[in-house]
């Protein structure tokens, strides 16, 4: 992607989240997850991306880690090319090289997880991503992590409801997004993550009532069998 095209795409991810009259949906493309195992190993990222777009998704999230999620940079490129939607690279970004790699893939945004970085590292990577024309979704799980994110200049903040305790068993806190919503300042774009619209999980109504701008939804869509219909149900 050339410099001119990259400049023209700067801010697309954030703008798409703010453009929706309803809670915007970031629809995720992933073949498997550590917590649930195989989800849809045969999915075609280009085809699924188009289905998400047609169903009303505002943005896409693509897992690019092969070992854990069966993804790749090629998946991200294919999803972006076929759908035209802004795409988040959802991976464990911890180095300057990772940020440049995301830029080279054509990502419109990348994920930075506060728990994986020091405050200084977070601020450095956040600023680098912005300078390259990418938005940043900064992920938090607690009030203390939210403070770190805000000090680093985060302007799109995701509240992740998934836990990974020392036992390595994944658990969910389906009320976390609701509890943390009042702590999120008005100037940031807010995203509820994990456990949205799954059986027994956080409902879209709860996400709406809590005042979130967007919800990142993966499993509920990947295994739905009809992602267009499922998205339309969630947005109804």
Active site residue 139: yes
Q: Which of 80, 193, 219, 224 is catalytic?
A: 193
Active site residue 193: yes
Active site (annotated) includes residue 90:
yes
Tell me the C-alpha distance between 71 and 63, whole Å: 5
194-203 per-position pLDDT tens digit: 889 888 889 9
* pLDDT of 167 higher than 50: no
160 flagged as catalytic: yes
Task: Give the angle subtended at the CA of 36 by the CAs of 216 and 56, to the nearest 5°.
Answer: 30
8 annotated active-site: no
Of residues 137 and 68, the one with the higher pLDDT is 137
Rounded Cα distance, 66 and 71, in Å:
5
**Catalytic residue, candidates 33, 80, 83, 194:** 194
| Known catalytic membership, residue 141 | no
Q: Which is the catalytic residue, given 139, 145, 178, 219?
A: 139
β-partners of residue 190 are 157
List the structure tokens of 58: 């505002």
| 59 three-class SS | strand
Q: Residue 166's pLDDT is what? A: 45
Q: Is 65 a catalytic residue?
A: no
Phi/psi for 8 (5° steps) reads -70, -20
Q: Which residue has the higher pLDDT, 94 or 5?
A: 94
Question: How large is the average pLDDT for residues 163-178?
Answer: 73
Tens digit of each residue's pLDDT (9 = 90 or more) over 105-114? 999 999 999 9
Instruction: For residue 85, give the nearest of 18, 2, 9 by alpha carbon.
Output: 9
> What's residue 9's pLDDT?
64
């Amino acid at each position: 992607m050339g410099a001119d095209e990259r400049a023209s795409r700067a801010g697309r991810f954030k703008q798409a989240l703010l453009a929706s009259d309803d809670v915007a949906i970031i629809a995720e493309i992933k073949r498997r997850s550590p917590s649930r195992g195989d989800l849809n190993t045969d999915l075609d990222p280009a085809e699924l991306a188009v289905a998400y777009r047609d169903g009303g998704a505002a943005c896409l999230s693509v897992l690019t880690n092969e070992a854990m999620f069966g993804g790749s940079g090629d998946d991200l490129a294919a999803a972006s090319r076929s759908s035209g939607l802004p795409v988040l690279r959802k991976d464990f970004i911890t180095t300057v090289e990772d940020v440049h790699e995301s830029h080279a893939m054509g990502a419109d945004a990348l994920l930075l997880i506060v728990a994986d970085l020091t405050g200084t590292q977070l601020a450095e990577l956040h600023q680098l991503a912005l300078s390259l024309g990418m938005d940043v979704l900064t992920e938090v799980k607690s009030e203390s992590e939210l403070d770190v994110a805000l000090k680093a200049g985060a302007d799109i903040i995701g509240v992740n409801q998934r836990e990974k305790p020392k036992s390595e068993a994944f658990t969910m806190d389906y009320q976390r997004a609701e509890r943390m919503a009042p702590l999120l300042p008005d100037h940031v774009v807010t995203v509820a993550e994990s456990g949205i619209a799954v059986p027994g999980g956080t409902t879209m109504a709860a996400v709406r009532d809590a005042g979130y701008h967007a919800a990142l939804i993966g499993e509920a869509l990947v295994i739905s069998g009809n992602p267009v219909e499922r998205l339309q149900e969630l947005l109804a």
